[in-house]
Chain A
Amino acid sequence: MSPESGHFPMIRTVGTDGMLVSFGDRLSEAANRAALAFRAAVERAGWSGVEETSSSLVSAYLRFDPLGLSHADLTARLQDLIADRDWLEAPLPEGRRLHRIPTCYGGESGPQLAEAAEAAGMSEAEAVESLSGARVRVTALGFAPGQPYLGELPEAWDIPRQQDLTPQVPKGALVLAIRQFVIFSVTAPTGWRQVGQTAAPLFRMGDERPFLLAPGDEVIFPAVSEAEFANMRAEAAGGASWEALS
C-alpha cells in the first residue's frame, strides 16, 4: 500500500485532509471506470466525517475532517471497500447522462482539423466521420470549472500535443490530443488541436445542476453545417440535448 510499491489500488494521503484511491498510473478505460464506481460507492456509504468526494482520471478523492475521522479509520474503511470487489470490473455508476452536443467541424470552426487528420492518417472527411461518430465518456472535469476531459477516441487519434501553444482558442472550442477531447469552457491558450466548435454552455446559473456535464456522462459530437450551427448559437442550450443512461 506504500506509494513505492506501485500496486493498485493504492491509497495515498493528499495534504492533511484528503485521501486518494488510485486504480492506475495512466489513463485507461478500466481505471477510469473503477474511479467513478468507487467514488459512487463512497458516496453511498455516507461515512460521517467525509465532506466531499470527486474523481479524477484514475482516482477517487475524499476530503474529510481528520480530527473527526482519523486517517487510520478511514484507511481501514477504504481497504474494506477496495476488497469488496474487483473495481476494474465494476459497472459504471447510475444516474449518468448521454449528451448530444452538435459540432461544426473544420473551416474557421476547426482550424486544425486538416493537421489533426493528417497526424491520424485520415482525410478531413474521414476524420469528421470518425470524430462525429465517437461516443466518449467524461473521464474528469478540471483545469477550468465544468471543463471536461473526454475519452477515449479510436486509436488513430493517439496524436501528441503540438510543440507550440495556440495562443487562444475560443470558448466552446473542441480540441483533441492523445485520444481525448476537451471542450474549452473559457477562452485560453492550448497545445491541443482545435478540430471543431460547440455552442452548448457548460455552466448555466439557475439550472438544478448548473454544470452540463458530470464525471461518467457520455457525449456524442454530431456534425452540423455552418448554417445549422449559426442557428444553434442563438439557442440557450446551444443545440445540445441529453437523455438518462440506465
Chain B
Amino acid sequence: MSAALIVREAGPQLTLQDMGRPGWIAYGLSRGGAMDRLALAEGAALLGQPLGTALEMGGLGGAFEATEAMRVALTGAPMRASIDGTPVEWHAAHLLPAGAVLEIGPVTAGAWGYLSLGGGFDEPEVLGAQSAHLTANLGARIVAGARLAVGPDRGGETGRRIRAEDRFSGGTLRVVESLQTHLFPEEQRARFGQEGFTRDQRANRMGVKVVPDGAGYGVEGGLSVVSEVISPGDIQITGDGAPFVLMAECQTTGGYPRLATVIPADLPRVAQAPAGAKLGFRFVTLEEALEAEAARRRALKELPRRVEALVRDPADVPDLLSHKLVSGFSSGEHHDH
C-alpha cells in the first residue's frame, strides 16, 4: 500500500491546492488554486521538488499522521506546529516519522498556512488539477478521517528552513489601472491611493473585503455596467461602497465596476492579511508592474538559495560558532521572524 497522510483532526478550511486549472475561463470556470502561491513555491524549494499540490489551511491546521516516514514542509502563514508534542519551526521542512502525529494549531500571523509533502499529494485530478474549487463544486474540503494518498518521494533533506518574505500583516499593495478605472471620479482614484483600509472579517477564497477609513467608493450608474471579464486581483466595488479584492476562486465575469487590479507579486500579501490588518494601495504604471513581475519570477527561481540548514536550539548544538558559519546565519541578509 502506498503512503498516506491520515487526517485525525481538521480545521474548518482545509483543501488541497495547487496552481489551479488554466484554460476553462471561456466556460465560466476561474483558474482557482492556492491563495498564496508563493507559499507553494517555498514548500517546493524546501523539499527540492517541482511545484505541486499542498494542503491549504485557513486559520487553523489539524492533526496529521503519516503511514510511512515522510518529509513535510510548513510554509505560508506561521502556525503553531509540533511533531509528537515537540514544537517544530515554521517555514521549514522536517521528517515526520511513521506513526508520528503532526499537530498544526492556529495561525500566529497571516491567514493561510500550507503543508507540503515530499513526493506531493497524489489524489485524483479533475480537469487537470487536484485542487478543490469550492464555488465550482470541484473537489471538497478535507475533513477529519480523510486518508490522503502521497506520491513517491525521490528523497532529499529535512531539517531545513527558508527565509520567507514577510507578507503576513498587511501593508501596501501595488495596483494598476484596469479597464474600468476611468469610470470612477478623479477624486476617488486619488483618494484610493492615499487613504488607509482595514481588512474586513469577510474574506474567503473568492475575495477579500477591505473597508476604507473614509467614504465609500462607487460610480454613477455603476449597476448598469455591462458584465465584463474578471481576473484575480481585480478590485470590485459592490453596493455598500467597500472594495473587494477578488482572489483565486473569483467569478470569471461580473457587472460590478472595478477600480484597479492588484499586481500578481502582491496577491500573496492580500491573501495573508488577517482580519483587522491595515492595507494601502498605490497606483503604479504598467511598466513598473512588469518590472515587479520580472522581479517576482526571479525571486521564485532563486528560492532554493533562501533555503538553509535549520538552526536548532543552541543547547542542542555543540559547536554553535561553526554551525552558524556553515549555515550562513551571519550573512547579513537574514530576515528572521
Q: B-contacting residues of A (Cβ < 8 Å)?
A: 3-4, 12-18, 20, 22, 24-27, 39, 51-59, 61, 63, 66-67, 71, 140-147, 149, 186, 203, 205, 210-211, 214-215
Contacts and interface: CB of A to CB of B under 8 A. Distances in A.
B135 interface: yes
A26 B226 contact: yes
Interface stretch (B107-115, B207-215, B286-294, B308-316): B286-294
Interface string B219-240: 0000000111101011000000
Interface residues of B, number: 40
A58 B179 contact: no
Contacts of B27: 141, 145-146, 211, 214
Given A15-B178, A20-B179, A143-B251, A59 B229 contact: yes
Contacts of B26: 39, 52-55, 141, 214-215
A215 B253 CA distance: 13
A33 B151 CA distance: 47
Interface of B: 22-29, 126-127, 133, 135-138, 176-179, 182, 226-229, 231, 233-234, 251-254, 261, 263-264, 286, 289-290, 293-294, 297
A11 to B, nearest CB: 10
A61 B229 CA distance: 7
A41 to B, nearest CB: 15
A4 B180 CA distance: 10
Contact of B227 (A63, A66, A142, A144): A142
B173 to A, nearest CB: 13
> B interface, by DSSP: helix, strand, loop or mixed?
mixed
Contacts of B25: 52, 54, 61, 63
A1 B263 CA distance: 24
Contacts of B290: 16, 66-67
B178 to A, nearest CB: 6
27 contacts: A12-B178, A13-B176, A13-B286, A14-B229, A14-B231, A15-B176, A16-B263, A16-B264, A16-B293, A24-B226, A52-B26, A54-B25, A54-B229, A61-B25, A63-B25, A63-B231, A140-B253, A144-B28, A145-B27, A145-B28, A145-B29, A145-B133, A146-B27, A147-B28, A203-B137, A210-B127, A215-B26
A15 B226 contact: no
A56 B286 contact: no
B286 A71 contact: yes
The 5 A-B pairs of least Cβ separation, nearest first, read: A142-B253, A141-B28, A54-B26, A15-B261, A145-B29
Contacts of A215: 26
Given A55-B26, A57-B226, A58-B226, A16 B261 contact: yes
Nearest to B177: A13
From B177, B179, B229, B263, name the one whose CB has the most chain A CB atoms within 10 angstroms: B229
Contact of A56 (B23, B126, B178, B253): B253
A91 B135 CA distance: 35
Contacts of A210: 127
Contacts of A145: 24, 27-29, 133, 136-138
Contacts of A25: 226
A201 to B, nearest CB: 12
B253 A52 contact: no
Contact of A67 (B23, B176, B253, B293): B293
B176 A56 contact: no
B226 A27 contact: yes
Contacts of A12: 178-179
B229 A18 contact: yes
A16 B179 contact: no
Contacts of A22: 228
B330 to A, nearest CB: 35
Contacts of A57: 226-228, 253
Given A15-B178, A27-B226, A145-B27, A66 B293 contact: yes
Contacts of B261: 14-16
From A27, A51, A67, A203, name the one whose CB has the most chain B CB atoms within 10 angstroms: A203
Contacts of B252: 54, 141-142
Contacts of B23: 52
Nearest to A31: B226
A13 B289 CA distance: 13
A51 B22 contact: yes
Contact of A59 (B127, B137, B228): B228
Contacts of A143: 28, 251, 253-254
A15 B29 contact: no
A3 B257 CA distance: 14
Given A16-B293, A51-B22, A186-B137, A146 B179 contact: no
A52 to B, nearest CB: 6
A188 to B, nearest CB: 11
Given A61-B25, A210-B127, 12 more contacts: A15-B176, A16-B176, A24-B226, A52-B23, A52-B25, A56-B227, A58-B226, A142-B28, A142-B252, A145-B29, A149-B227, A214-B27
Nearest to A4: B182
A210 B182 CA distance: 38
A146 B264 contact: no
Contacts of A211: 24, 27-29
Contact of B228 (A17, A56, A146): A56
A3 B26 CA distance: 24
